[in-house]
Structure 1
Amino acid sequence: MQKELENELGKITISKDVISIIAGMAAVECYGLVGMATQRVKDGINELLGRDNLRKGVEVIIEEGAVRINLYIIVEYGINISEVANNVIDKVKYTLEDTAGVEVSEININVQGVRVGEVQE
């Protein structure tokens, strides 16, 4: 499934993968976020995703012309989790609406873990 936008000049089609990459890149720019996580926890351990796999930590659902996003994140130890989540929501919503022109109806944050320090690339 993909998001379609139309104007007087024509139609724009944006794939769910592109939306998930934009959302993931916006999220990792937020202070207190160590990185994106896989959507499934295996044996109580969650995999921290590198920049090339950010979309695996983002679920995009398109319904009734709007986009619903589920983000799976790992936060830094000692940082207020609700503050990080609110910052991620604001940043991702703004970035998607500004960059891709898609209407965001909902953003859900799933904290998959807490880690010390930030990811080294």
Structure 2
Amino acid sequence: MKGSSMNTHMGKIVVHNDVIAQYAGSVAVECFGIVGMAGVSVKDGLVKLLNRESITRGISVTLDRNKLILDFHVIVAYGVSILAVTDNLISNVKYKVEEFTGIEIEKINIYVDGVRVID
């Protein structure tokens, strides 16, 4: 099991990386300007918008020196400032994931894999 763990006075707590990815993904898609998470096909290199059920495929969670490193592959809305969207994403995810897990986030990497026009 790949998970992030912490020791408390009552024992050890292990949070599976998929749980962290699912929570981080749900926080990310609530952010302004984020259309959704991106999945890149290794076979043909095409980027596709992931549905809610497979949102964790667009997020990588790594625990390094008891700190989390999150990688997001996102699709942003056409016409919005990518810098503003990513700053908003970083601040929201950092605050909410640290509150949820109790584990400090060292780094959040964002890869903008596509742009979509929203109706």
Calculate the TM-score normalised by the size of structure 2: 0.92
Runs of 4+ in 1 over 6 A off after TM superposition: none
Q: Tell me the residue number matched to 1:64.
A: 65
Counterparts of residues 79-118 of structure 1 (less than 5 Å): 79-117=80-118
Change (3 A) 1:41 1:110: farther
Q: Distance in 2 between matches of 1:40 and 1:111?
A: 15
Letter in 1 for 2:25: G
**Length, aligned pairs only:** 118
Any stretches of 5+ residues in structure 1 without a counterpart?
none
Counterparts of residues 1-121 of structure 1 (less than 5 Å): 1-40=2-41, 43=44, 45-117=46-118
Change (3 A) 1:65 1:4: same
Deviation per CA, 1:76-95, whole angstroms, max 9, x where unpaired?
Answer: 00000110011111111111
The answer as to whether partners of 1:39 and 1:56 remain within 8 angstroms in 2 is no
Change (3 A) 1:88 1:80: same
CA deviation after TM superposition for structure 1 residue 40, in Å: 4.8
CA deviation after TM superposition for structure 1 residue 43, in Å: 4.5
The answer as to whether partners of 1:66 and 1:105 remain within 8 angstroms in 2 is yes
Deviation per CA, 1:86-121, whole angstroms, max 9, x where unpaired?
Answer: 111111111110011111000000000000017xxx
Any stretches of 5+ residues in structure 2 without a counterpart?
none
Q: Distance in 2 between matches of 1:86 and 1:30?
A: 10
Q: 2:103 aligns to what SS in structure 1?
A: coil
Deviation per CA, 1:53-83, whole angstroms, max 9, x where unpaired?
Answer: 1100001111111110000000000000110
**Identity, % of aligned pairs?**
41
CA deviation after TM superposition for structure 1 residue 11, in Å: 1.3
Letter in 1 for 2:5: E
Change (3 A) 1:34 1:68: same
Q: Distance in 1 between matches of 2:15 and 2:34?
A: 27
Calculate the TM-score normalised by the size of structure 1: 0.90
CA deviation after TM superposition for structure 1 residue 8, in Å: 1.1
